[in-house]
Amino acid sequence: MKRILALYLALGCLVLWGCAPLKSDPQPSAAPSPTPQASAASSAQASTEVQANYRGKVVQVLDNALLLAGEGGAGDLCTLALKDVALTDAYGEPLKVGLSGGMEVEVGYSGVILETYPAQLAGPVSLRVIETGEDWVGLYAQVLQDLFRADEGLNAGISRTVFDLSAAGNLSESEKSALVYRMGQVLGYEAEAGSYETLQSEGTLDPAEPYFEDGMLFSLKLKEQADGRITFDAEKWRSALGAYVFYDCTALKQDGVWRYTVGSHMVS
């Protein structure tokens, strides 16, 4: 009887051992897939990272935006939307003054520049004011607007405005482009850089009897820059007998803004 019981116990142990689960080598667990919310947050963070810097001068302050003249050559103009852009001073502290023309700035952005004219800096993140420069574009824009309004009979029938800024020695090439662009916006006519010679070469002016039939030629000439002031001439020309000149103008900086007076008015 004892032998039979021992046999049953041995068989029961074998059965229980056979039913136990076999152990296998552990398999590495797959990394959890990111949730849609996490992916969206990562994308948003990546889109706000600074990938490039753009340096230039503020040449116009618009509604929550800026027009910048870059450090490149002619035509290097960019617009910058200021929404959600962190503004700091040269030391990285929050900017305590308003943005104004002439400021030298560095913009951190996505590295993408939209190919419009002016170009657009995409994904701007930060703007640091490096130094407060001179707003020559703002000064000359006011001079040219005043000159346009002088003797308005000369403006009758025009559809073009051409700007000779070759003698405006205190403007960079990109600032010259900015001034031409601004004058086109404010006067409402087609605006372009050019000169008396370029108008002749394109056949617009007859050398024997020069007359700019459908446009007006503006020019600026810097005469002296010293002791915190500048002197210059500004002219609008349509023909030998149709011109108006602000002669021997003097500009001084008052309360941070350049203001000018006209030495004399000359009419031909």
- pLDDT tens across 120-146, in order? 999 999 999 999 999 999 999 999 999
**65: in domain:** yes
| Residue 124: domain span | 52-132
Based on the fold, state whether residues 149 and 207 are members of the same structural domain: yes
DSSP for 169-208?
A: TTS-HHHHHHHHHHHHHHH-SEEEE--HHHHHHTTSS-TT
Check pLDDT > 60 for residue 152: yes
Q: Are 124 and 109 in contact (CB under 8 A)?
A: yes
Based on the fold, state whether residues 121 and 182 are members of the same structural domain: no
Check pLDDT > 60 for residue 20: no
How many domains is the chain partitioned into structurally? 2
Based on the fold, state whether residues 125 and 144 are members of the same structural domain: no
Q: Are 255 and 242 in contact (CB under 8 A)?
A: no
Predicted local distance difference test score (pLDDT) of residue 10: 41
Based on the fold, state whether residues 249 and 159 are members of the same structural domain: yes
Based on the fold, state whether residues 219 and 241 are members of the same structural domain: yes
Of 36-45, 129-138, 242-251, 252-261, the poorest mean pLDDT is in 36-45
Q: What is the pLDDT of residues 63-115, one digit of tens each?
A: 999 999 998 777 799 999 999 999 999 999 999 999 999 999 999 999 999 99
The CATH number of residue 66's host domain is 2.40.50.140
Residue 23 three-state SS: coil
Distance CA 122, CA 110 (A): 6
Based on the fold, state whether residues 140 and 180 are members of the same structural domain: yes
**222: in domain:** yes
Based on the fold, state whether residues 189 and 106 are members of the same structural domain: no
Q: Could you identify the residue written with the tokens 């559809």?
A: 159
Predicted local distance difference test score (pLDDT) of residue 1: 39
Q: What is the mean pLDDT of residues 17-37?
A: 38
Q: What is the pLDDT of residues 203-223, one digit of tens each?
A: 999 989 999 999 999 999 999
Residue 38: is it exposed, middle or buried by C-beta count within 10 angstroms (0-12/13-18/19+)? Answer: exposed
Tokens for 207, please give them: 């050398």
Check pLDDT > 70 for residue 201: yes
Check pLDDT > 90 for residue 40: no
Distance CA 140, CA 48 (A): 37
Last residue in a domain, options 132, 155, 184 = 132
Nearest-CA neighbor of 194 among 204, 186, 185? 204
Q: What is the mean pLDDT of residues 23-46?
A: 37
Check pLDDT > 70 for residue 46: no
The model carries a pTM of 0.81
